[in-house]
């Protein structure tokens, strides 16, 4: 072989070794960068096309100022197949079924009564549910209160209350001399009927008129229970039961296996509207299916253009926000080696400069998270965040629902036991519970200007913004204000 050829070979080997060494350096740099990597998950509804585009055009366009950062919009793979008008709640995908019997028969019914066969549950001395939470799906008129007759044989005077989140709407003192017995319940008619409109949320409950003994003392039921006695719930589609109130003022999610010591007698009203709702269902269903198909096409086009949608296997509804968040964290820890993880909503503006400064000032790589935190908040029983699943009166510490930041190691700790963690009603509340269960010695950093505050000239997050408000904040951001 000619000397020149040897020289070429040696030169080639040298260049190859140099490139390999440079490759190693590049890989090492990439690994180092990945340890500082920030992944932001923006929770978004499937049909929020304009909201996502506004985020892209405003604060997300400056994320390149944070080295090696990444943003994904987190969506569910499917929409609820039910038109919102055919759901018990627009936040969920539970079907609201109206029977033909209801639109042709206007009879008085009660929430719960004794009797029934299949599906009935035995009433026993340990079952002292003194309150019943419910939501009205179609307007009803309340005619009377009722209380289980056996209670009045021991507790001679009780107070029945109907209330909502703000006030007591009606209250009646009941004693066994002034009520009529119907199906094992003592019924007291109201002085005037009370209309409960569609969407009403409230509770009917009983209290002792005298506070010397507890209403749930075991002796109340002694000698006044039959092993064959059962209770039966109304089948009316106008009422959606939410929870039962138990001993020590705790509540538990309603189920047909529970019984209530208190009930309401009611009549469904505006049957013409109910009939119209039933008759127009097929049209609504067809219209909704067309809307879903249009959204599918638009999402495909959006993904082809931007490549920033994370479609995960769950149904995209408000009630599935905890599942959406957990799915995002599971995806993140499986496919990304992120040092920091952030979650925000698509109506939240992120001050990228202040976020960058916060990340630069924090050397934490342990179990740490940052947000505006809520401490010892009461568990709500009304509204879209109503929660009868959590077994307590107050929540563990949880972050702002608009957004929070955590280290990748904390996200990993959560997802390590993720499949076994419960999903509660609120996404922010669920994250707080997951952290309290999955990680010990977590450092909680309550950032003073995380959210707008009178003492803060500006905050890291601006929340619940319309698209025009988002653009206005972007203009101020560019002006350095």
Sign of CA dihedral 380, 381, 385, 388: positive
Report which DSSP code applies to 396: P
- Domain ranges across the chain: 30-79+285-478, 100-270
The pLDDT of residue 214: 54
The pLDDT of residue 30: 32
- CATH classification code of 30-79+285-478: 3.90.550.10
The pLDDT of residue 250: 80
The pLDDT of residue 365: 72
**What is the enclosing helix (H) or strand (E) of 150?**
helix 149-152
Nearest partner of 157 among 114, 76, 102, 212, judged by Cα: 212
Nearest partner of 349 among 48, 36, 51, judged by Cα: 51
Question: pTM higher than 0.75, yes or no?
Answer: yes
Produce one character per residue of 249-269: b if its CB has 16 or more CB atoms within 10 Å, e if not: eebeebeeebbbbbbbbbebb
Same CATH fold assignment for domains 30-79+285-478 and 100-270: no
Q: Which CATH number fits domain 100-270: 3.30.499, 2.40.50, 2.60.120, 2.40.390?
A: 2.60.120
**What is the enclosing helix (H) or strand (E) of 432?**
helix 427-438
Spatial contact of 125 and 222, defined as CB atoms under 8 Å apart: yes
The pLDDT of residue 223: 42
The DSSP line for 187-247 is: EEEEEEEEEE-TT-EEEEEEEESS-SS-TT-GGGGTT---TT-EEEE---TTEEEEEEE-G
32, 70, 77 from 342: Cα distances, Å: 19, 10, 21
Spatial contact of 121 and 255, defined as CB atoms under 8 Å apart: no
Report H helices in 270-361.
271-279, 281-306, 321-335, 352-361
The pLDDT of residue 216: 59
Residues of the chain with pLDDT under 70: 1-36, 115-127, 209-229, 247-248, 364, 481
Cα atoms in the 13 Å half-sphere on the side-chain side of 100: 0
């Amino acid at each position: 072989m000619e000397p020149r050829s040897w020289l070429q070979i040696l030169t080639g080997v040298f260049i190859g070794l140099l490139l390999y060494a440079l490759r190693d350096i590049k890989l090492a740099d990439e690994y180092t960068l990945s340890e500082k990597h920030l992944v932001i998950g923006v929770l978004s509804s499937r049909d929020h096309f304009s909201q996502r585009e506004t985020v892209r055009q405003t604060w997300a366009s400056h994320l390149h100022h944070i080295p090696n950062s990444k943003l994904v919009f987190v969506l569910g793979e499917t929409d609820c197949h039910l038109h919102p008008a055919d759901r018990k709640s627009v936040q969920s995908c539970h079907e609201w079924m109206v029977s033909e019997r209801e639109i042709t028969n206007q009879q008085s019914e009660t929430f719960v009564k004794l009797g029934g066969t299949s599906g009935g549950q035995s009433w026993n001395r340990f079952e002292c549910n003194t309150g019943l939470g419910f939501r009205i799906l179609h307007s009803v008129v309340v005619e009377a209160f009722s209380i289980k007759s056996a209670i009045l044989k021991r507790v001679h005077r009780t107070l029945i209350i109907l209330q909502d989140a703000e006030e007591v709407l009606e209250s009646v003192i009941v004693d066994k001399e002034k009520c009529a017995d119907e199906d094992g319940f003592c019924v007291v008619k109201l002085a005037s009927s009370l209309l409960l409109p569609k969407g009403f949320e409230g509770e009917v409950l009983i209290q002792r008129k005298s506070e010397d003994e507890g209403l749930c003392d075991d002796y109340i039921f002694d000698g006044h229970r039959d092993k064959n006695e059962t209770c039966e719930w109304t089948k009316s589609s106008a009422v959606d039961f939410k929870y039962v109130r138990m001993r020590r003022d705790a509540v538990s999610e309603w189920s047909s296996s529970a019984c209530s010591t208190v009930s309401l007698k009611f009549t469904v009203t505006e049957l013409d509207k109910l009939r119209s709702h039933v008759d127009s269902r097929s049209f609504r269903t067809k219209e909704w299916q067309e809307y879903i198909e249009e959204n599918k096409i638009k999402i495909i086009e959006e993904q082809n253009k931007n490549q920033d949608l994370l479609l995960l296997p769950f149904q995209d509804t408000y009630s599935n926000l905890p599942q959406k968040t957990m799915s995002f964290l599971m995806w993140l820890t499986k496919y990304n080696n992120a040092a920091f993880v952030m979650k925000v909503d698509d109506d939240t503006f992120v001050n990228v400069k202040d976020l960058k400064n916060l990340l630069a000032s924090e050397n934490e790589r342990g179990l740490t998270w940052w947000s505006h935190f809520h401490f010892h908040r009461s568990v709500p029983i009304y509204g879209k965040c109503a929660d009868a699943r959590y077994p307590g009166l107050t929540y563990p510490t949880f972050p702002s629902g608009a957004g929070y930041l955590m280290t990748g190691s904390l996200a990993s700790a959560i997802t390590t036991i993720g499949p076994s963690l419960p999903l509660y009603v609120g996404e922010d509340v669920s994250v707080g519970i997951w952290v309290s269960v999955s990680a010990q010695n977590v450092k909680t950093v309550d950032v003073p200007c995380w959210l707008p505050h009178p003492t803060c000239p500006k905050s890291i997050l601006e929340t619940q913004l319309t698209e025009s408000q988002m653009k206005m904040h972007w203009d101020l951001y560019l002006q350095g204000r």
